[in-house]
Amino acid sequence: MCGIFCSHNHPDVNGFKPQALQLAKAIRHRGPDWSGNIISNKTILTHERLSIVGLDSGAQPLTSEDDTLILAVNGEIYNHRVIRKGFGDRYKFKTKSDCEVILYLYAEYDIEAPTMLDGMFSFVLYDSKKNRVVAARDPMGITSFYQGWNSSQPETVYFASELKCLHPVCDRIIPFPPGHIYDSSTQKTTRYFRPGWWDGSPIPDKALNLRQVRSTLETAVRKRLMAEVPYGVLLSGGLDSSLIASIAARETRVESDANGHAGSQDQIDNLVGIDDEGHLKTVSKYQRLQSFSIGLPGSPDGVAAQKVADFLGTEHHNYTFTIQEGLDALRDVIYHLETYDVTTIRASTPMYLLSRKIKAHGVKMVLSGEGSDEIFGGYLYFHAAPDKTTFHEETVKRVKNLHLADCLRANKSTSAWGLEARVPFLDKDFLEVAMGFNPEEKMIKGGRIEKWVLRAAFDTSSEPETEPYLPPDILWRQKEQFSDGVGYGWIDSLKDTAASTISDEAFANRGSIWKTDVPDTKEAYWYRQMFDEQFPEQCASTVMRWTPTWSNQTDPSGRAISTHVAKYQDA
């Protein structure tokens, strides 16, 4: 991931430049490879770069052939070669960066440009001829992005990848809405992402096609192997990350052994990318797939992850952390996450610790499994969904809010250490398939376990000619929320520490401290306190607290849901 900071129509942009560079420096962890900035008229764009594609020539901000368009991007454009070919010889590209195509999509299609992008991105483009800024964010908000204003400078607008860039100069900040584009010439933000399953659409009634679910997810993973640096997979041992790891292992494997499993450890494996015809092909070579997991010693996920890694033949790194190490990291985790949501902080702390380990291996990009639970209704509280309409509406709501929850976690936990996380489940084409069939198929009833559709799509037991994707006891393993799966002692210790840190008197008085979004547990109070110590009041409105629907539990842990299988309680 990279980092962006921009100020448009600043009254003294040259005088503001030293502060702008300091604000950009606050997110250098996102892009430790290079820093760039450009001033044009009253606009400054800065960029902190993490080099993944176009290593030698992709420094930003990027400029058009005539230097009138200036662009700063955070993200990856998977179909950039296809777009380049479509331009023919109309433009002379300056770099091999996947992001440069945005300049000329804007030149030809104006604010419809993002509709043609397949990837994860947030960008700010400045048109110096028109003194116009356009800013956009990918359909699901995989990349973090914010917009801000200062009441003393009503004509000025700011953009940044993280809050820590904005709050020193903005008294109003919002998360930039996913799937939208902002146009300074109209000062309007409009939605460009218009999928058929969005809220307000009819409940889907299309028949389920399991083979289509499988094939579109496989394609989504292949796209995300576009890289010029070593990459790996996050492997918790749960269904979602294990499937992503399985598909990636199949795509990067040179040849199979006699049992159809991964080849020897010293083989060089193929790296798959997308050519200028839109086809998948080998573009580079690296060592065999690396996988990474973390948990407390003996955690449920750690045991399962090792089993998956052995089955797939990945080069696996299974790390453990102590409860004290997790507790010591909490304040830094909240600083990087920029949230006080209980679920997000619980799950992000192990991911934050693991990301540092991964970066030490020289890996700069990982695939991760975020989004599946929202798409397929995988959280255990979905057992209580009363009907298919309500079930579907809840999945749409969860998917729409991913940018405030799991996408935020995946993006910022990894970016804290200059690591990029890519999420195949949130591929546009896969979403259209997975959200487009009759939601009755997703419901947890009639003996079906949660995410039955996804499990069944990759169950090859009736296809003797097809190599199994996963061992059956992994493919059909019950859902564990990540913060539970790393070891139940982790959540218990957080609750216990909060109980001893926050007095009964302070907790009882919480309503006088916070007038809205009042913490309902001592753990929530503790996190909010650490958040407020690092971020001013205008940042709090960007936070959404994750709570399960159809449940009276104040604890969002999967263990608190009555349907959680008892045997996991003793793990």
**What residues are designated binding site for ATP?**
234, 294, 368-369
Annotation: binding site for L-glutamine: 98
> Is-contact 275 303, C-beta < 8 A?
no
Contact in structure between 337 and 409 (CB atoms under 8 Å): yes
Q: Is residue 433 helix, strand or coil?
A: helix
How is residue 557 written in tokens? 């842990």
Neighbouring C-beta atoms of residue 436, cutoff 10 Å? 18
Q: Which residues contact 466 (CB under 8 A, 6 or more apart)?
A: 460
The residue whose two tokens read 């989004």 is 371
Nearest CA-CA partner of 165 in 340, 348, 18, 21: 21
Name the strand (E) or helix (H) holding 512: helix 510-513
* Partner residues linked to 137 by β-bridges: 122
- Binding-site entries: 98, 234, 294, 368-369
* DSSP-assigned letters across all residues of 341-407: -HHHHHHHHHHHHHHHHHHHTT--EEE--TTHHHHHT-SGGGGG--SHHHHHHHHHHHHHTGGGTHH
Q: What is the C-alpha separation between 32 and 163, in angstroms, rounded?
A: 18
Q: Which helix (H) or strand (E) holds 513?
A: helix 510-513
Burial code of 225-259, b = ≥16 C-beta within 10 A, e = fewer? bbbbbebbbbbbbbbbbbbbbbbbbbbbbeeeeee
Strand ordering across the sheet containing 290-295? 315-320, 290-295, 231-234, 365-367, 420-422
Alpha-carbon gap, residue 534 to 334, rounded angstroms? 9
Which residues of 20-68 form beta strands (DSSP E)? 34-40, 43-49, 62-63
| 3-class secondary-structure state, position 523 | helix
**Of these residues, 2, 6, 170, 407, which one is catalytic?**
2
Residue 274: closest CA among 102, 119, 137: 119
Q: Decide if 99 is catalytic.
A: no
- Where residue 75 falls (left for φ over 0; alpha for ψ -120 to 50; beta otherwise) is left
Burial of 415 (C-beta count, 10 Å sphere; 0-12/13-18/19+): buried
Catalytic residues: 2
